[in-house]
Chain A
């Protein structure tokens, strides 16, 4: 597997390999990754059973409301969160901003999200993620986008949804798109796979690997719009490996209770009795924005190429 020379010997073995980068995502499966903006939030998330936290300065709903350029968070703030919890800590870099990624790697974050939620720094190129020892997660709306990101070195994928809206419709659209395309691959012969790879602008080798596996070659979470335990279980039943929750928890009236309920809903996603129990009395969900009435220019899922 390609490692582009970033692997090193640590005295015991090789670090920074594709296997260990993808492997951490495999350990997060069946879990919930929560956006947090303070060490206190991070503790609440960990106590609720989050498998990891995403450290950022503003949750997507606030980035939408406040506008302006959204950048990587202050290293001091990220470090405060790293020191507050024992679970893995992720942080976001702008699309194409490889220096923000270098800073996050040096800081010791466990995963970098090259994220459309921040303002893109490069309108043509994503970060060459093979150059890093730290693993990356990237967003996608369809199979072609997912495989382009994996080709650039992403060790984990998340469907984009529409962040900061609390509306699940786009997350559903993107998860159905990816899984539907993978199902279609399984019925194609080799000749058709060549053409399909060209049409979706993805490397043939990854298209073929996906067809053989019957799934993406890396872990795939859902993101962008999850606000309730039912939303989280819906995404799990649609076949994703786990769920990111951004604004949905800390923009609700009872974050600790909602966070715990969403964690339980992801584990017991096929058990309606438990879903009833965890959905009760959670207080107000985040207010939300209806994506279907949103101006096209306000949508952020289109960022990334």
Chain B
């Protein structure tokens, strides 16, 4: 199994480190041909406008869309924005998931925070999540399943079949359970 990490900008090395810890071969994806021999893709945290510009300039948008149609993709933070079909007026980036996302939903950097989240799919131990200028899911449609919410009920983790999106950054902590969950989706066991 080989998992690609979109490496246009952002925290791609952090994702690669965790994947390697789990014994998974990784590849940095910067150009369309880098998608050819990978089984799944992670779109990391970063600046979504930067990732959009670079993906557009290097003709990655359409190949990413096709990839997401039949192969597992996980977006974290900016990656969640990239996967959403509705990002509030602006043109979607990859636009593969039936979710509506509000960018920078919590305000500016001083409002960034960390919190413990409960995930039914991860059992009883909470997942410590880092939210940095994070987006939020404001609406879901189609077959989207909510995996976790903040204590006030706002949605921060969703899955739609082979697509996964989290508003926070599992790549910044040492908890590998969400990466393992994504690997289980790839293996068809999730």
Contacts and interface: CB of A to CB of B under 8 A. Distances in A.
Interface of A: 10-17, 19-20, 23-24, 26-31, 46-52, 86-88, 105, 108-111, 133-135, 260, 263-264, 266-268, 271
A111 to B, nearest CB: 7
A113 B141 CA distance: 43
Contact of B50 (A15, A51, A108, A134): A51
Interface of B: 7-14, 30, 45-47, 49-50, 53-54, 57, 77-78, 103-104, 106-116, 129-133, 150-152, 169, 172
A50 B9 CA distance: 10
A12 B12 CA distance: 27
A108 B110 contact: yes
Given A10-B113, A108-B110, A110-B133, A263 B172 contact: no
Contact of B108 (A23, A110, A264): A110
Nearest to B103: A86
B131 A13 contact: yes
A30 B9 contact: yes
A8 B130 CA distance: 15
Given A12-B152, A263-B53, A30 B114 contact: no
Contacts of B103: 86
Contact of A52 (B12, B47, B150): B47
21 contacts: A10-B113, A11-B152, A15-B111, A15-B112, A15-B113, A20-B131, A20-B132, A23-B130, A24-B112, A24-B133, A27-B45, A27-B47, A30-B7, A49-B9, A52-B47, A108-B107, A111-B109, A133-B110, A260-B53, A263-B50, A271-B30
A26 B45 CA distance: 9
A268 B10 CA distance: 13
Nearest to B129: A13
Contacts of A14: 113-115
Contacts of B104: 86
Contacts of B30: 267-268, 271
Given A11-B151, A27-B132, 15 more contacts: A14-B113, A14-B115, A15-B110, A20-B109, A20-B132, A23-B132, A26-B14, A27-B11, A109-B109, A110-B109, A260-B57, A263-B53, A263-B54, A267-B30, A268-B30
Contact of A20 (B10, B57, B112): B112
Contacts of A24: 109, 112, 132-133
A242 to B, nearest CB: 8
Nearest to B116: A13
Contacts of B109: 20, 24, 88, 109-111, 134-135
Contacts of A260: 53, 57
A77 B172 CA distance: 34
Nearest to B13: A29
A206 B78 CA distance: 31
B11 A105 contact: no
Contacts of A13: 113-116, 129, 131
B27 to A, nearest CB: 14
B10 A31 contact: yes
A219 B9 CA distance: 14
Contacts of B45: 26-27
Contacts of A20: 109, 112-114, 130-132
B176 to A, nearest CB: 17
A88 B111 CA distance: 13
Contacts of B115: 12-14
A274 to B, nearest CB: 8
A23 B110 contact: no
Contacts of B8: 30, 267
A280 B7 CA distance: 24
